[in-house]
Amino acid sequence: MITSRRNFLKNTLSSAIVLITSTAILSQRVLADWSKMAFTAKNTEEALMALFNDSDATVSDKITIVSPEIAENGKVVPVEVKVDLPRVESITLFSEKNPVPLLAQFNFTGGRAKGWIKTRIKMAETGKVIAVVKADSKLYQASREIKVTVGGCGG
Amino acid sequence: MSNETNTRLQAKFNEGVTEVKALIKHPMETGQTKDLETGKLIPAHFIEEIRCEYNDEVVMSAQWGVGISANPYLAFQFEGGKIGDKVKLTWKDNQGQTETTVTEIIPK
Amino acid sequence: MSMSRRQFLQVMAIASANGLLPQSVFAQRQQSADPYEIPNFGQIRLLHFTDCHAQLLPLYYREPQVNLGLNDRQGKVPHLVGHAFLKHFNIQMNTPAAYAFTHLNYVKAAQKYGKVGGFAHLATLIKRLRETYGREKTLLLDGGDTWQGSGTAYWTRGQDMVGACNQLGVDIMTGHWEFTYPAAEVLANLKQFQGEFLAQNVKVKEEALFVGAAAFNELTGHAFKPYAIRDLSGVRVAVIGQAFPYTPIANPARFIPDWTFGIQETEMQQLVNQIRHQEKPNIVIVISHNGMDVDLKMASRVTGIDAILGGHTHDGVPQPTTVKNRDGVTLVSNAGSNGKFLGVLDFAVNKGKVTAYQYHLLPIFSNLLAPDEEMQTYIDKVRAPYLAKLNEKLAVTEQLLYRRGNFNGTFDQLICNALREQNDAQIALSPGFRWGTTLLPGQPITLEAVLNQTCITYPETYVRNLSGQAIKTLLEAVGDNLFNNDPYLQQGGDMVRTGGLNYVCEPTQAIHKRISNLTLDDGTALDMNKQYKVTGWATVANQSSGKPIWEVVVDYLRAHQTVKLDKINLPQLIGVEANFEAYT
């Protein structure tokens, strides 16, 4: 009844979804360059400088981060970012206490994508998750504290 | 990996918006974890780049670090799309492995 | 030898005549000494029990003498114990009520008034309270923690309790320890359960749904039905289920890999609004396993709920707390644990709305209630295959053995001592569960008594080396789960119990600043950089490799024959002196 993730492959193969796989090396034209500098930055300012040449992002209540109050598993923390700003160009996610604070940058080229993503992140310890949004050429940000704890002793 | 598929991709259309969901089987190793048996560090192995195209138009491209969870899950939406049209997702990891998956947009 | 029913009733009559019993236990209008004769009030009656922890038989359960409430919760329900509790609820010392609700003079009172709880006794009372009111106007609600806590529950995978709850006539339940059985067993048990299991805050993880996991509702992701509507003779009652929000943190997530929990406050508000709008109920109730502090916070923020019937924190609260919020008032109750209490909430409804209520939290004095025959027959039947081993006498205790309280109970100390001796370790750690039944001095310690303190689905023990720093960090993390200033960020039970390790604790501090002066039993300070041999049980992250905790305790008891503890590793507390009664 409940499908385990271990059965994931089997389910994928038997599903009706059309799948074509390719091992071709991708051209650099279509994939954005991976920013080594941003991903080796030790804090959010450095990473923002590397990504945007700017680290000044305005706090905005138009950005909502949806996540649990306490992570059920620090290695898999579901995060949803909703942006209610026009012309969203990118959403960049940080976990301030991680050894590598920059988690990911989602670029919405072509202007079709909505300002919305859902993903799952790793968190080393209790701290802020920060979403920096570039919209209409300006940087905005919002953050949310998520507690990461040892488990056990549940009454 | 060549004959296996590690990506489950779905695109659903509803009221003018296509929602794309992807689940990728990948270890997303940070390079900082010790192998408990050998005591050696497990080499970093993570998806660096991921891109989604609708009718050859890139609608979303992302760069990821080691902070994305193992077996990454991603959902996003784009305006437009048509039932039956193709959505293509491509990812590449730091060890040079890549995979492209195509699916047809289905009604929600 | 405890009192006979006749003697007990005499005590009640005298106490009642002298006005020594609180209205919360003994209704004002009744002249009889029978504490269970409560007047019918209003149009509907909700009966509520919670956290019975699979205790089918009458037992002893000592209420805590330390239950710290910090900052604005200090001195408030449910953080009142002992004399402060009696004063607040206007209960006299040395009465049956004082015995039921506090730890005061516990041994003497227990010897006098006898055991509490027992499903056969509970069944008698429930039948009576439903029949005198009109069964069709009543609902029986179970707050969860029903399938775990005894040997028979463990061996039957909770099925003995599903059968007992069917026999009892439970209409609706929610859960917590139910989720410590693997998901497939949870679902199989719920198929056998004749009531409804509700939980608005348990969802199927999105990625699990994506690969085809089953859900109650695939669009909303609800793993279980979130609410139910019951028509009780023309009064429409909406009941929303709220399972323990931190189940996959406090207990192993590996048993239920596809389910995600959380408080889900926003979703709760949306659901209440939706129910009010679409279902047009007269009353909205939440059957909650949040724990009382979380319920109080939720009641202050979510509008449109008439009452939250709570559990988890095992607080026997004689009268609900009234919480004001933006749109009105919500009652928050907590109905204790171990089958020791039955909450009775009668509502009067006028012009479609709640206008008044009457609440009683009735202690189940086993000597005062004849066992229900059908239930007793059922209990005897499910216990029969295990009876011989359950009754094996392993040792005798020379002192009171109990667990409940923020820090080490005496039974915890026994477990820690057993772990240290059997595993030759310097330090033992034992989880701060709130369940675990009490033994009086002179009582035999049977296997059943050991299982009542230890029986879980992840009982494996461990021995490992930990640095002083790692031990301190662990204590800090668990302390923050208990003492965090925000109830929404408190997700544990009581403080982890230590054996062979002493410390100073300042609960009002922030994490990493609460625990200091760690010393071993010989007085030497814990060296942050040195490794110590530590033993424990109930690991949440991964399954440990050692034998089950009850085998460790059984071996220790067989070797010792009698239990008399030299020392209890209670921490020295700072900054909370006004907040609790002395340890002894």
What ipTM goes with this model?
0.93
Where are the domains positioned within chain B?
7-31+42-107
Where are the domains positioned within chain A?
1-33, 35-148
Taking contacts as CB-CB distances below 8 angstroms, the residues of chain B near A19 are 5, 7, 9, 101-103
Q: In terms of domains, do C373 and C398 share one?
A: no
Rounded Cα–Cα distance for residues C393 and C12 (Å): 35
Rounded Cα–Cα distance for residues C330 and C307 (Å): 5
Q: In the prediction, which pLDDT does A152 show? A: 61
In degrees, rounded to 5, the angle at the alpha carbon of residue C265 between the alpha carbons of residues C259 and C269 is 120
Closest Cα in chain B to A117? B76
Q: In terms of domains, do C132 and C228 share one?
A: yes
Number of residues that this document lists for chain B: 108
CA distance A117 to chain B (A): 5
3-state class (DSSP) for residue C223? coil
Task: Give the CATH number of the domain where residue C512 resides.
Answer: 3.90.780.10
* Domain final residue, candidates C379, C405, C437: C379
Q: How many helices (H) and strands (E) does chain B have?
A: 0, 8
The overall longest dimension of chain A from CA atoms, in Å, is 56
* Domain final residue, candidates C354, C379, C404: C379
Rounded Cα–Cα distance for residues C499 and C418 (Å): 9
In degrees, rounded to 5, the angle at the alpha carbon of residue B92 between the alpha carbons of residues B91 and B97 is 120
Q: In the prediction, which pLDDT does C451 show? A: 98
Chain B to chain C Cβ contacts (< 8 Å)? 12
Taking contacts as CB-CB distances below 8 angstroms, the residues of chain C near A125 are none
As a whole number, mean pLDDT of residues A52-57 equals 94
- A23/B61 Cβ within 8 A: no
Q: In terms of domains, do C458 and C327 share one?
A: no
Nearest neighbour of B8 by CB, restricted to A12, A98, A117? A12
CATH topology of domain A35-148: Immunoglobulin-like (2.60.40)
The 10s digit of each residue's pLDDT in A10-41 is 434 333 333 444 444 444 444 557 899 999 99
Taking contacts as CB-CB distances below 8 angstroms, the residues of chain B near A114 are 17, 76-79
- Could you tell me if residue C65 is inside a domain? no
Q: In the prediction, which pLDDT does B36 show? A: 82
- Could you tell me if residue C225 is inside a domain? yes
Rounded Cα–Cα distance for residues C413 and C420 (Å): 10
Instruction: Grade residue B56 by pLDDT with cuts at 50, 70 and 90.
Output: confident
The 10 Å Cβ neighbour count of residue C270 is 13
Tell me what the pLDDT averaged over chain B comes to.
Answer: 93
- Could you tell me if residue C384 is inside a domain? no
Rounded Cα–Cα distance for residues C414 and A103 (Å): 47
Beta strands at B57-64 and A102-107: parallel, antiparallel or unpaired: antiparallel
Q: In the prediction, which pLDDT does C7 show? A: 76
Q: In the prediction, which pLDDT does C549 show? A: 98
Closest Cα in chain C to B74? C207
Rounded Cα–Cα distance for residues A113 and B53 (Å): 11
- B71/C210 Cβ within 8 A: no
In degrees, rounded to 5, the angle at the alpha carbon of residue A69 between the alpha carbons of residues A63 and A75 is 95
CA distance C491 to chain A (A): 7
Q: In the prediction, which pLDDT does C401 show? A: 98
Beta strands at A58-59 and A138-146: parallel, antiparallel or unpaired: parallel
Taking contacts as CB-CB distances below 8 angstroms, the residues of chain A near C477 are 149-150
CATH of domain B7-31+42-107: 2.60.40.10
E strands of A3-154, at which residues?
Answer: 58-59, 63-66, 77-83, 88-95, 102-107, 113-121, 127-135, 138-146
Touching A (3+ Cβ pairs <8 A), the chains are B, C
- Could you tell me if residue C205 is inside a domain? yes
CA distance C299 to chain A (A): 17
Number of domains in chain C: 2
CA distance B89 to chain C (A): 17
One pLDDT digit (tens) per residue for chain C, 584 residues: 677 777 777 766 655 544 444 444 444 434 457 889 999 999 999 999 999 999 999 999 999 999 999 988 999 999 999 999 999 999 999 999 999 999 999 999 999 999 999 999 999 999 999 999 999 999 999 999 999 999 999 999 999 999 999 999 999 999 999 999 999 999 999 999 999 999 999 999 999 999 999 999 999 999 999 999 999 999 999 999 999 999 999 999 999 999 999 999 999 999 999 999 999 999 999 999 999 999 999 999 999 999 999 999 999 999 999 999 999 999 999 999 999 999 999 999 999 999 999 999 999 999 999 999 999 999 999 999 999 999 999 999 999 999 999 999 999 999 999 999 999 999 999 999 999 999 999 999 999 999 999 999 999 999 999 999 999 999 999 999 999 999 999 887 899 999 999 999 999 999 999 999 999 999 999 999 999 999 999 999 889 999 999 999 999 999 999 999 999 999 999 988 766 666 64
- Could you tell me if residue C91 is inside a domain? no
Return the HEC string of C138-188.
EEEEECCCCCCCCHHHHHCCCHHHHHHHHHHCCCEECCCHHHHCCHHHHHH
Beta strands at A113-121 and B73-79: parallel, antiparallel or unpaired: antiparallel
User: A113 or C154, which is more confident?
Assistant: C154
Q: In terms of domains, do C274 and C187 share one?
A: yes
For tokens 């509507």, the residue is C229
**C210 inside 8 A of chain B by CB:** yes
Phi/psi at B88 (nearest 5 deg)?
A: -120, 130
Q: In terms of domains, do C422 and C543 share one?
A: yes
Taking contacts as CB-CB distances below 8 angstroms, the residues of chain C near A12 are 211
Within 8 A by CB and 6+ apart from C341, the residues are C49, C100, C316, C335, C361, C362, C363, C364
Rounded Cα–Cα distance for residues A103 and A82 (Å): 17
Rounded Cα–Cα distance for residues B98 and B91 (Å): 5
- A109/B5 Cβ within 8 A: no
**A29 inside 8 A of chain C by CB:** no
Q: Which residues pair with A94 in a beta bridge?
A: A102, A130
Q: In terms of domains, do C448 and C531 share one?
A: yes
Its domain, for residue C495, covers 391-579
What is the spatial order of strands in the sheet that C515-520 belongs to? Answer: C515-520, C501-505, C572-573
What's the pTM?
0.92
Residue C10 C-beta-side C-alpha neighbours within 13 Å: 6
Phi/psi at C505 (nearest 5 deg)?
A: -125, 130
